[in-house]
Structure 1
Amino acid sequence: MPSSTYDDDAARSPEITDLEHATIAWLCEELEDSEIIASDNFLDIGGHSLAFARLNKFLADSFGVNLDMKVAYDEPLSIAVAKAQPVRSHA
């Protein structure tokens, strides 16, 4: 993964959650853009429906949560992450 200024900022910013950090790091790698930050909008950074599905798979597997597509498409990443919901069981 490319070196990210986000990683440096995250170490100094205690309000950034593990979920937010992991989301941004994943997006930096997936979209090959080390400049992505929490105030960016998913669509503005080149996100698309397939990347969103992959991101939600990663978040479900790693944290047991999913992002809402409308929120992720309309709001900054930090808001989308803050509004993440637990994955619903298929039982």
Structure 2
Amino acid sequence: MRYVDKVGQVIKRFINIKYVTSTNSVTLKAAIEDILAKHSLSIHRIRGQGYDGASNMRGEFHGLKALILNDNPQVFYVHYFAHQLQLCLIVVTKNH
């Protein structure tokens, strides 16, 4: 999580790891909402989200991105390109 405190400093915090039985977008959204609720936070206060290119994350109609945008149309989405770099490195290292 990243937020701006009362003095204007950007603070980054790791808040939780949660085991999920499924990686479909509905289950992931429920897990996020549960984590936010435990910290007295709301999905309506999210301003940005970033995921890799998996369809369950970025799907235009049923992906996690879309489900969060349905609840909060002001949230920005940024594609997480570091995941693509990781996939490229894995392919290169397997060939050498």
* Superposition TM-score, scaled by structure 2 size: 0.24
Higher RCO (CA-CA < 8 Å; seq separation 6+): 1
Select the structure that is richer in helix.
1
Select the structure that is richer in strand.
2
Bigger radius of gyration among the two: 2
* Superposition TM-score, scaled by structure 1 size: 0.25
